[in-house]
């Protein structure tokens, strides 16, 4: 394995000094790139892209070739586990992910298998292995999964939801069934993410996209608890002089800004935050790494607006160690690519003075 040439992202996740703030973007391999749209058109559907290691590898590398990003994230989906459990993940144009089968009772849950990552999810490991090789140590490679709660919402609702009525009914009316589902999912995520680490992932993201729809009490019991379970069993390695000997984990609960104190005690190395959070008010800065938090819609604006908003985020974070610049959510599909260029350059250039 070739040596890592750019370790800023991994250093920032360990709250170590860097020369400037590293940046990557959620959904950086995606539709806003013309080369992605071309690749996708050839591949046909989204799942074929995910399940064909060569295509997933190519999609992962595209943004790294075009921009000076400090990390790559494996091209995949947060819902691979329920798909591997047999629910049949599919995508309809212009809509979110959907499942052919849904989960509605204890019986459904009891029958769910825990996927063997070496079997039904082997395609992800193959994609990671291939991409790692192709990257040649240019930047670190991130592996990921959806959080148990987030996976469960899609499995019970059958897709994305505005009101989350079905899963909330389960939560309040059949909490034991939901806990069983979440436990199965947590165990599956542990196996899955450890396999990703073994395949070469150098950092892990847990996307808790829907944790923010829970009450503060339910968040702790139904989302954070299971992420803590995962964190306690990931084979992260040991911190050492060799920065790559340790695999840092970032938890991102969208809409979880009110609970940063609790999340910071979860055992995660970094917390992802969205744009509702004023980085200035995060008390844990310097102790735990923070990832975020530009509103992705800012990338619609002109160069000056992008730069002044980058400046705001950097100033809010200030002179601490442990900042990974990112958007507060995935990049929109219709962002002009030159605006991404402004963003990346501006983060690198303007952050230098905070790291002297």
Give the binding site for its own copies (CB under 8 A): 162-165, 168-169, 171-173, 212, 214-219, 255, 257-258, 275-278, 295, 297-298, 300-302, 305, 312, 328, 332, 334
Residues 264/266/267/271 CA torsion (nearest 10 deg): -40
At closest approach, how far in Å is the CB of 173 from its own copies? 5
Q: Helices 165-173 and 175-199, interaxial angle, to 10°?
A: 110
End-to-end CA distance of the chain: 32
Residues 70/232/80/214 CA torsion (nearest 10 deg): -100
At closest approach, how far in Å is the CB of 58 from its own copies? 27
At closest approach, how far in Å is the CB of 298 from its own copies? 5
Parallel, antiparallel, or unpaired: how do β-strands 203-208 and 323-327 relate?
A: unpaired
Nearer to its own copies, 226 or 275 (CB): 275
At closest approach, how far in Å is the CB of 124 from its own copies? 27
Nearer to its own copies, 15 or 103 (CB): 103
Our answer to whether residue 77 is catalytic in this structure is: yes
Nearer to its own copies, 75 or 259 (CB): 259
What is the DSSP track for 76-118? Answer: --TTHHHIIIII-EEE-TTS-EEESS---SHHHHHH-----TT
With the C-alpha atoms ordered 134, 139, 145, 150, is the resulting torsion angle positive or negative?
negative
Give the active site residue among 154, 192, 219, 342.
154
Q: Determine how many CB atoms are found less than 10 A away from the CB of residue 334.
A: 9
Our answer to whether residue 353 is catalytic in this structure is: no
For residues 131 and 147, give the distance between their C-alpha atoms in angstroms, rounded to a whole number: 24
Our answer to whether residue 66 is catalytic in this structure is: no
Nearer to its own copies, 200 or 256 (CB): 256
Nearer to its own copies, 236 or 339 (CB): 339
Backbone angles phi, psi at 84, to 5 degrees: -70, -20
Q: Looking at the DSSP assignment, which residues form a beta bridge with residue 207?
A: 146, 252
Judged by DSSP in three states, 237 sits in strand
Give the active site residue among 8, 11, 40, 236.
40
At closest approach, how far in Å is the CB of 22 from its own copies? 21
Our answer to whether residue 68 is catalytic in this structure is: no
Our answer to whether residue 220 is catalytic in this structure is: no
Give the active site residue among 77, 83, 269, 274.
77
Give the active site residues: 27, 31, 40, 77, 154
């Amino acid at each position: 394995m070739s040596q890592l040439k750019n370790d800023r992202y991994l250093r920032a996740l360990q709250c170590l000094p860097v020369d400037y703030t590293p940046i990557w973007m959620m959904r950086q391999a995606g539709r806003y790139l013309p080369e992605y749209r071309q690749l996708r058109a050839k591949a046909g559907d989204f799942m074929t892209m995910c399940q064909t290691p060569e295509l997933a590898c190519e999609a992962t590398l595209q943004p790294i070739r075009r921009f000076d990003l400090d990390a790559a994230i494996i091209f995949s989906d947060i819902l691979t586990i329920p798909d591997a459990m047999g629910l049949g993940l599919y995508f309809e144009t212009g809509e979110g992910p959907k499942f052919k089968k849904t989960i509605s009772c204890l019986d459904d849950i009891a029958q769910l298998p825990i996927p063997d990552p070496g079997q039904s999810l082997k395609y992800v490991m193959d994609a990671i292995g291939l991409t790692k090789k192709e990257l040649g140590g240019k930047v670190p490679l991130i592996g990921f999964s959806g959080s148990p709660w987030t996976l469960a919402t899609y499995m019970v609702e059958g897709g994305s939801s505005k009101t989350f009525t079905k899963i909330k009914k389960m939560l309040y009316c059949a909490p034991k069934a939901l806990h069983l589902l979440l436990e199965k999912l947590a165990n599956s995520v542990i196996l899955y993410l450890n396999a990703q680490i073994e395949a070469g992932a150098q950092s892990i993201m847990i996307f808790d996209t829907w944790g923010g729809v829970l009450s503060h009490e339910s968040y702790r019991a139904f989302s954070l608890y299971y992420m803590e379970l995962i964190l306690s069993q990931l084979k992260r390695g040991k911190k050492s002089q060799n920065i790559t000997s340790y695999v840092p984990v970032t938890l991102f609960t969208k809409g979880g800004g009110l609970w940063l104190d609790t999340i910071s005690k979860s055992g995660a190395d970094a917390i992802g935050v969205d744009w509702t959070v004023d980085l200035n008010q995060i008390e844990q800065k310097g102790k735990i790494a923070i990832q975020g938090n530009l509103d992705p819609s800012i990338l619609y604006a002109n160069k000056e607006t992008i730069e002044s908003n980058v400046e705001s985020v950097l100033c809010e974070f200030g002179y601490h160690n442990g900042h990974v610049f990112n958007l507060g959510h995935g990049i929109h599909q219709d962002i002009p690519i030159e605006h991404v260029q402004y963003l990346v350059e501006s983060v690198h250039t303007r952050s230098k003075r905070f790291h002297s």
